[in-house]
Each structure stands twice: as structure tokens, then as C-alpha cells.
Amino acid sequence: MDDLARFRKLVKEIKYTTDISGMYSWDMRVNLPPKGAAYRAETMGFLSEKIYAMKTAPELKELCDKLSSRKDNDLITTEMLKRTLMEYNRLTAIPAKLYSDFAEHNLQTEAIWQVARAKSDYSMVKNNYEKQFDFKRKFAEYNGFANNPMDYFVGFDEEGMTTEKLDKIFDELKASVMSLLGKINASSIKHNRESVYGKYPIEKQREFCKNMVAQVGFDFEAGRLDESAHPFSFCGHDKTDIRMTTSYFEHSIIRGASAAMHEMGHSVYGMNHADELRGTRLDYGASLGWHESQSRFYENMISRSKPFWAYFLPIAKTYFDDLKEFSLDHYYNSLNAINIDARRLNSDELTYNLHIIIRYEIEKMILARQVNFDELPDVWNQKYNDYMGVRPKNDAEGVLQDIHWSAGYIGTFQTYVLGNCYNGHVLKKIKKDIPDLFDQISKGKFDNLYNWLAQNIHVHGRIYSSAELLHRLTGEELSPKHYIDYITQKYTELYKL
């Protein structure tokens, strides 16, 4: 076996093992009996040790060094070598025991979090949260980011991104959102999401959501839609085995349907990677920010649009009697109503940005040791009061509402808003290429939308960095301007500002 074939074989073995670990994680969130959590944590810790050893094997580094000097490498090989070396350098900076301890602690913390959130008791998970952040802070320190750990996480997946750049983007976006929110609060127009609350049987929601995502493009022969406490997607696996979940609430179809469309965006990204990327570990999105762009594009720019519901509302009325009295305008206005709420997943499209900015700012404070974990719920609640004039009623609505910290996803919240900003660019470009896009959607025709996203974004996987993909697509650098234009136009029309 020559060097390149050996390198590709090692990478494929890493891919197989991480996929097994990922499937174990998916099963834990969807199927695992409560008493199985401790043993699952042990097995996940074992797998993590094996994956760490595979990713940091001396042979892998030797092959990367040898192959990187070749002049005839194709684009896929070049990117595989680059990302493998990058990961090798990051991981070898971290002691193996620390890495496996973190993986095991993640599983334990997530299991505790599920109980703590159900009981609305932050004290149950406080020490685990503190240890999670300690682990991540050490990872940053070992990689040379002791002075600004958040820079490590911001740039970890979004190459070239820094807290300085991100702060400028967020400051501009936050100012625009707050300005719009002030005008909306002063408007005489008062839309209300609760006006379409009613009785929506869970079983019928399951049927409707499966029908909806299938019509938009989700392939149920290559994927599943299940349920979990917190909706998520497992699409780092093979393109023929994609898993996503949603959550249903009997009083409304909005949360379940929106979450299903959000996760579908992640999932079809995974379904549409080029076949030649299978087994290369490049069969993932360009970055977490780009992955969130696709989920939020389908959730917000598509499934919160009036043309989308011009098609799907009549279908929904065949499932739910409580929708039959509502006109398209009424349902659309209610769906997009400003909903000042302490819960991120219950927020509207506009204020969602503030939810993410709050988390980003708190993470920066924790990593910089500017807040301790006894104070954390109060700091969280005060941020909500300052930004949105609302305070969480309890820990479940406040600091415990998200799965991310318990699952170890620290320093990643910003990717949701980065996704929104990428979408500003994407929407401008796609409307130029498909001028009648939303007319097509109103007739239930989603093929052109699906194919455009697949051919221009999904197929490339991780071959290009975030900035490279955006420049290839639009010729521009990342800016919040187009997204600000989009939300300004939408909410100006909605509230007649």
C-alpha cells in the first residue's frame, strides 16, 4: 500500500470510529433508558480514548508530513492533509487523559442536566458546568490561548474568525435588532403568536411534520425524524444514514414544525455532500456557522415565509381542526409575531439574535473568570432583563434551557448568528438566480431551491473554508448588512413601521 492509500485508510478508520461514537450519542438522547447513562458514559469515554489515539498516531503525522510536500495532490487530498494536521496539532497539545475525561464527563453531565432541567434545579448541575468550562479552558490554554480562551473557540471551526471580528458583527446586528424592537414596541400593530394556540394532537403533528419535510426534500430512505428533549441533528455520519429530532407541544404546531424544518436544513446538508467525500472526513459542512446557516435558512427564510404557508396551511388544516378558521394572513402574522420570551426555542426570528448574543457574552465572561458559577443564574437573568425586559421564571427557563454546555458545546453559540449573517448573502444570491423562488414555493415546488443549495453549498462539504465558500458563492466577505436588510424589510412590512 502506498503512502496516500495508507493515509486514506487511516482517515477512513477514524471516520468509522467517530461515526460509531456519534451513533451512541444519538441513541443516548433518543432511546437510552435512564439507568443506562452511567455505563454509556464509560463506553463513550473508552471510544473517546481510542479516537484520540487514532487521531494522534505518529504514523498519521509522518504520512501527513510526507504527503504534504507532494506537488500533485488534488483538492480533496490537500484539504484532508490540512485538516488532519490541524486536528493532530490541536489534540497532541492536550493530554490524552484530559481529553478522555472530558468525553466521559460530557455524558455524565448531559444525563444530570436532563434531570436538573426537569426539576428546574440548577444546583444539581452547577459543579458539572464549572468542570465543563474548566476542561474547555484548559484545552484553549494548551493550544496557546491562555490570555483569550474565547478566541480559540471562535476560530476553532470558523477559520480566521476572532472575537474582535465577531464583536463588531454582533455590535452592528445588536444595534439594528434593538432599534427595530423599539419601533415594533411603539407600533399600534400587535400580532400575537398565542392567537393560533389550540389543540394539536401530538400524533397528528408527527404525521404532518414528516409529510412537510419530505415534500421540501428530506429523504426518509436516507434519514429519520425522531423526538428528543432538545431537537438536534446527527449528520456527521454517512449521507445515507442521517438522523434528526424535534419536540412537539400539544398547544401549538409552531415549535415542532419550526424545529423540524431547522433540523432538516442540517440534515439535507449532510445528504448532499459529493460522493467522493465519503470516508474522507470532509463530508461535513464548511463550518458550524455554515451548518447553522442552512438550518436557519429553511426554518426562517423559507418556513416562516407567507408563500410557504400559502401552500402548507391548507394541508395543515386537513390534520388540525383548530387551524380551520385561520386565514393565511392571520397565521403568517401570528407565526412571525414578536414573542419576547426567556426561552430561546420559543423566541421569534428577530429576538432570537439577542438570545445568542447573551450566551456569547456570558461565555466570554466565564472563560475570562469574570463570573463564578454561584452567580451564573443571576447574571443570565439580568442579561435577559437588560436586553429584552424579561426575566426567566425559573432555572429551567433560564440557565438550564440549553443542552449545549452539558454536552460540551462551549464557545459555539455564536455560530447560530453567524449562520443568519451567511444567510443574508445566500438569500440575496438565490433570489438573483431564481427570481420567482417564492412563487414556486407558494405552489409547493421546492426542487429548484433544494438543488440550488445542494449544488452551490452542500456538495462541497468541507473542501473550502467558510470565507472561501462565501467568496466563491457571492464574491463578498462576511457582513451582517444583507441579513439586517432582510429582517428590517420583513418586520417593517409586518408591523407597518
Q: What is the pLDDT along the chain (497 residues), one digit of tens a residue?
A: 799 999 999 999 999 999 998 888 888 888 889 889 888 888 888 888 899 999 999 999 999 999 999 999 999 999 999 999 999 999 999 998 898 889 889 888 988 999 999 999 999 999 999 999 999 999 999 999 999 999 999 999 899 999 999 999 999 999 999 999 999 999 999 999 999 999 999 999 999 999 999 999 999 999 999 998 778 888 867 899 999 999 999 999 999 999 999 999 999 999 999 999 999 999 999 999 999 999 999 999 999 999 999 999 999 999 999 999 999 999 999 999 999 999 998 899 999 999 999 999 999 999 999 999 999 999 999 999 999 999 999 999 999 999 999 989 999 999 999 999 999 999 999 999 999 999 999 999 999 999 999 999 999 999 999 999 999 999 999 999 999 999 999 999 999 99
Exposure b/e, 298-312, CB count within 10 A at least 16 = b: bbbbbbbbbbbbbbb
| pLDDT given at position 345 | 84
What type of residue sits at position 349?
E
Identify the sign of the CA torsion 367, 126, 22, 416.
Answer: negative
Which 3 state secondary structure label does DSSP give 244?
Answer: strand
To 5 degrees, how large is the angle CA 327–CA 333–CA 335?
100
What type of residue sits at position 389?
G
Evaluate whether the domain defined by 164-495 bears CATH number 2.40.50.100: no
Which 3 state secondary structure label does DSSP give 187?
Answer: coil
Q: How many CA atoms lie within 13 A of 404 on its CB side?
A: 17
Q: In which region does residue 475 sit, left (phi positive, over 0), alpha (psi from -120 to 50) or beta (all else)?
A: left
| pLDDT given at position 257 | 96
Instruction: Say which residue the cell 454561584 belongs to.
Output: 374
Pair type for strands 223-227 and 242-246: parallel
**What are the backbone dihedrals phi and psi of residue 403, each rounded to the nearest 5 degrees, phi first?**
-80, -20
Catalytically annotated residues: 263
Strand partners, 223: 242
Helix%, strand%, coil% for the chain, nearest 5: 65, 5, 30
How many Cβ atoms are within 10 Å of 350's Cβ, its own excluded?
21
Strand partners, 242: 223
| pLDDT given at position 168 | 97
| Domain boundaries for CATH 1.10.1370.30 within the chain | 164-495
Q: Which three cell numbers, joined as nine digits, stand for 466?
A: 467558510
* CA proximity to 101, closest of 144, 49, 143: 49
Spatial contact of 55 and 78, defined as CB atoms under 8 Å apart: no
